[in-house]
Structure 1
Amino acid sequence: MPQGLMLTDLAIAGLLLLMAKILRVHIPLLQRMYIPSAVLAGLMGLTLGPAVFDMLPWTDTFTANAGLLTTALFTALGLATDVPSPKVVAKRAGSLWAFNQIASVSQWLFAGMFGLFITSFFWPEISPAFGITMSAGFMGGHGSATVVGDIFNSLGWEDGFTLGLTFATVGIFISISVGMLILQLALKMGWITTFTTFDSMDEYERKGLVKPTEQPSVMKDTMSSLSVDSFAVHAALLIVAIVLAYESAGYLSSFHSKVQIPTFVTGFLGGMFIRIVAKQTKASDYLCDGAFKHAAGMSTDYLIIFGISAIKITVLAQYLLPMVVLAIGGVSFTLWLVFWVAPRILGDDWFEKGIFSWGWLTGTVAMGIALLRIVDPKMRSKVLDDYAIAYVPGSITDIFIISLMPIAMYNGLHWEALGVGLGYIAVVLFIWRFLFNRVGTKSANNR
């Protein structure tokens, strides 16, 4: 079990988040850059922390908080996630599932192979697993970067932790800056007809606030306060699930010294198992998905703050040039996925789905939603609905990639990883072409 979140660390992170939100509300430049408050707070924590001015009284173990919050994030997602039937996936989101699988797996493969290439021929002193830090940060954000960084730490390459978190932070800026350029190009090419500019947003949207008359409830009361507070039960369920995730991961990892099961895996699967049991026993009637989703969102924000604050500037100075080369290659490859692969798989509304995918392939799902709202403010394309359906089967693949790809690349199993990845992409293409398309055709004929 890790050391828990220290009250001092949590108070510092909370203060930074409050300051960041106030700055974003009152500084138009930050609003135009669409910088999330958590990212701004993390940058403040990095600048005022031990990496630069060393003014914040972080505890000696504050860097470990990111790992605990990652487990909390994935456990909360599992508790809030339904498992859709294969038929629903095929009818509603088959093409988006296929594209997401191809895009995510191929990005990991490209990052691994391109990183191997540049380290073999130009920077042989760098670990051959260097490229994985980019895909962990770009596609998975700070959560996946923390998981991969912990794996590299256990393998003896501590620099991988800082590199992954840096790519995750840089990816957010790349996501929104390049994404805005993509939207401008799409408008000129006629791929979209509407474009919600910053100037056309109201004051609340610019500041990242919700108008008082439009604020929804965070959660619903499912239990009488005479017995117990509803939020207390939801918090208890999440905390117990997190503890069980650590215990089960430790137990499963005890059978072999070279087998380490990440806690985010047991957390996500454990959360889904608890949800299934709750559904079968009708206990789900007294659980609120909104509470778990907000728990996941809160974990993400604090994870970003701790993750960015833990970046080591001295490590970045040693890897700066290879990181720039790797990032340029990764951005170029992801643009190819959006502009060449997406139109051939996604069909109608390919651009809306493609720009959303660009957001999460380089930054976070939140960045994808932000870009999607600019081009589709009323969400008529139903991209988020389809993504929610395709998320669960796709997340299982992500778990395997995040857990195994760093180990394979670090231990020299490069070609084995490439072969398995390409084989999986071939299977996805077969399913999409001969199964999902057939189901979609039957569904259209029955209308």
Structure 2
Amino acid sequence: MKMVGFWPIRSIRVKIGLVFGLTFFLGFAAAATYVFHEVKKVLIQQENRALMDRATRLSERVSLYPLVIPLPESGEVLALWYTTGDSSRRLYQSPQFPEHLSKTGTTTVFSSDTLQLARVNRDAEGDYGKLTTIVGRSNRPLTRQLQNIGWLLISTLLLSMMISGLGAWWLSGWLLRPLQAIIQSARSVNLAGGVTPIPMPRTSDEIQELATTINDMLARIQQAVDTQHNFFAAASHELRTPLSILRTEIEVAQREAINDRERFFLASQLGELRRLSRLVDDLLAMSQLRAGTLQLRPEPIELDDLTLQLTERYHAVLKQRQLYLSVYLDDTAPSFRVGADEDKLTNVLLNLLDNATKYARPQTQVDLRLEMLDENVVWSLTNLTSGPVADPDRLTQEFYQADTQHDGYGLGLWISQQMVRLMEGSFTVTATEDSFRAEIRFKRNQDPAR
């Protein structure tokens, strides 16, 4: 559920609390409203009945011969009229009695301003004439009493909502505890190191069914992953031997006395074999990385010496592609010794050099820097590109190719990142409108892993 202008509510616990609180609020508010109106009706009826009884008693105590008029109590107002035929005479009226009230009427209880009044009509002595008695009291005490009752109900509603909210929060947490355990276990699943089944809650409900379903799904995923790893490993091992034989035979054939046409044909075949060999090596490395079986032999390596050796080896390739290599070594650094697997690190650096020369803009410079930053040995390679790199955040994902027009299978940067991570270093790539940069960081003088 997502509402415009509000943050999406993602927690089931919050949703349960909101639904429970809203339901309780509406139910209690409806009940409180009904109770308030009923109490109000009862109190008004009691007040009117008491006021009517008071008016009746005062009316019965009035006498015309001799004239006897009972006095009202404190807080009361009283008015008496004697009516004969068409004439009416006022016998008594309290100073606070409203002047605008009519002495006639059939309503027994009515309101005027802040007064609640009761009217009683009875026949005078000897059934000659009619006596009208009106008694009134202030309705403010009743209004204050009703207000107090209303505030009491509101306070009770708010307090009950708070208690019910805390109760719903605790109860939903208790009910969702098995589900939270399932979530935590599912997050810790690592297919590379094998799947550990999530705990099975003994709740005999939908949560237990969910855990069973997830465990069955994980078992199927693990089986599929194992099958994939076994296939890549077996296929890679099986293909490496015939490819090596073919490469050797073609290289031997190139040394024989053959014409230029045959030599060109063999060179083309040798290039394709090298490309297939690299793909097989990448698939084998990917399978080992995924399965967690890649073996490392860490040792102290002078990264500056290794870098110079590789750039010397790559000089011809750079010249062939009309690129210029600029190498910067930090003279202030005491050493560039790091702990890593030399063969694996060599493959990573060669892959980055190959990536830079493959995608660099012709007739531009490739910058290689080796320096010390914050006690870290930083190896970086920057090249200019022909245009912006599409979706640079996905460059280190497996099988992703930013430019499908070049050779490759989208495994080089992913394998490089995984290998550097296993050697306890960091690997990052960044891209701008017209440049690409790959960076590797190792702790200086870090000890090789045991």
Task: Report the structure, 1 or 2, having the larger strand content.
Answer: 2
Per the normalisation by structure 2, the TM-score is 0.17
Task: Report the structure, 1 or 2, having the larger helix content.
Answer: 1
The structure having more radius of gyration, on CA atoms, is 2
Higher relative contact order (CA 8 A, sep 6+): 1
